[in-house]
Amino acid sequence: MAENLLEVKNLKKYFPVKAGVFKRTVAHVKAVDDISFAVKEGETLGLVGESGCGKSTTGRTILRLLEATAGEIVFKGQNILTYDRKQMRKLRKEMQIIFQDPYASLNPRMTVGNIVGEAIDLHNLAASKKERNEMVRELLEKVGLGSEYMQRYPHEFSGGQRQRIGVARALAVDPKLIIADEPVSALDVSVQAQVVNLLQDLQKEFGLTFLFIAHDLSVVKHISDRVAVMYLGKIVELTDKDDLYNNPKHPYTQSLLSAIPEADPKKKKERIILEGDVPSPVDPPSGCRFHPRCPKAFAKCSEVEPEFKEYGAGHFAACHLLED
Ligand code: SF4
């Protein structure tokens, strides 16, 4: 059984809402509100939910690109929220991020060789320029780009190729954990599978651990070992991938799954349409946050927050319907 590489414990990330001439804090956006999960070494955990549910904030808070409001982020047994700058600088080598937008995340004035080589330089990973260039060449080849691209600039590449450059940059420092923040959402559907397959191949080759963030359950299906579903700052369900797709317990997960088109036209699936928009995380609904939109809500749902509990081996969910 693999060990936990990352443990997120009761993590909260609130953003203050300021108003008035004195810019006083009048409220908080509760983007991430008390979530806990672990990612085992070598596994891929998919983190899924509609936009604004807090999944990207979770990824950025784990990397400390945003400072947590409360909770613990335990990486290799150490709570990294206690780390000072120097310790964090060292740690950044082990935790990398691949951004959603391959157009915005690459410096347009730098050649691909320098974009990928920058991290090698920053962490002094090469003894000479020759060695550094050799490393860059190898990395580009690993992501399916020839070394002839080293002197080119990002605008000369397609979206899929740019995302490959982003992957090579993340790999340059030999990380343990990669947080892939919607890495294929900005790409054409035809290119998405290629990038997902590439990430899977690299995971095997380098023993990587992934937190794979997506807004769509169909994207994470292929790559994830387990999947966590987020709604309005909370994790509402977390389990093994097959279990989630075959036996979703939470009404929100059921509605997300019903939106995925069925490949086999003979299999009929009833689409569950959710009413209304996702409520504001400044003032989330009482009780179960999903209750204003839940087709199965009953009286207790608006009054009592359901506990996130285990219902069957490794299958966690937060819903009153599951309680006996
Ligand atoms: Fe729906 Fe109630 Fe379950 Fe929330 S607790 S998901 S509102 S049934």
Map residue 319 onto helix, strand or coil: coil
> Over 90: is that where the pLDDT of 48 sits?
yes
State the chain's mean pLDDT as an integer: 93
Percent of the chain at pLDDT exceeding 90: 81
> Over 80: is that where the pLDDT of 263 sits?
no
pLDDT band at 261 (very low <50, low <70, confident <90, very high): confident
**CA 292–ligand 1 middle distance (angstroms):** 9
- Choose which residue among 302, 321, 322 to substitute to test ligand 1 binding: the one with the highest number of ligand atoms within 8 A of its C-beta: 321
**CA 214–ligand 1 middle distance (angstroms):** 23
**CA 256–ligand 1 middle distance (angstroms):** 15
> Over 90: is that where the pLDDT of 59 sits?
yes
**CA 92–ligand 1 middle distance (angstroms):** 39
Q: Is 308 in the pocket of ligand 1 (CB under 6 A)?
A: no
Q: Is 306 in the pocket of ligand 1 (CB under 6 A)?
A: yes
Q: Is 297 in the pocket of ligand 1 (CB under 6 A)?
A: yes
Residue 146 confidence (pLDDT): 87
What topology does CATH give the domain 4-94+175-322? Rossmann fold (3.40.50)
Identity of residue 167: V
Predicted model pTM: 0.93
The 10s digit of each residue's pLDDT in 265-304 is 777 778 888 888 889 999 999 999 999 999 999 999 999 9
Residue spans of the domains in the chain: they are 4-94+175-322
Nearest atom, ligand 1, residue 320 CA: 5
Characterize 31-59 residue by residue with b for buried, 16 or more Cβ atoms within 10 angstroms of its Cβ, and e for exposed.
bbbbbebbbbebbbbbbbbbebbbbbbbb
**CA 254–ligand 1 middle distance (angstroms):** 12
To the nearest 5 percent, what fractions of the chain are helix, strand and coil? Answer: 35, 25, 45
Residue 113 confidence (pLDDT): 94
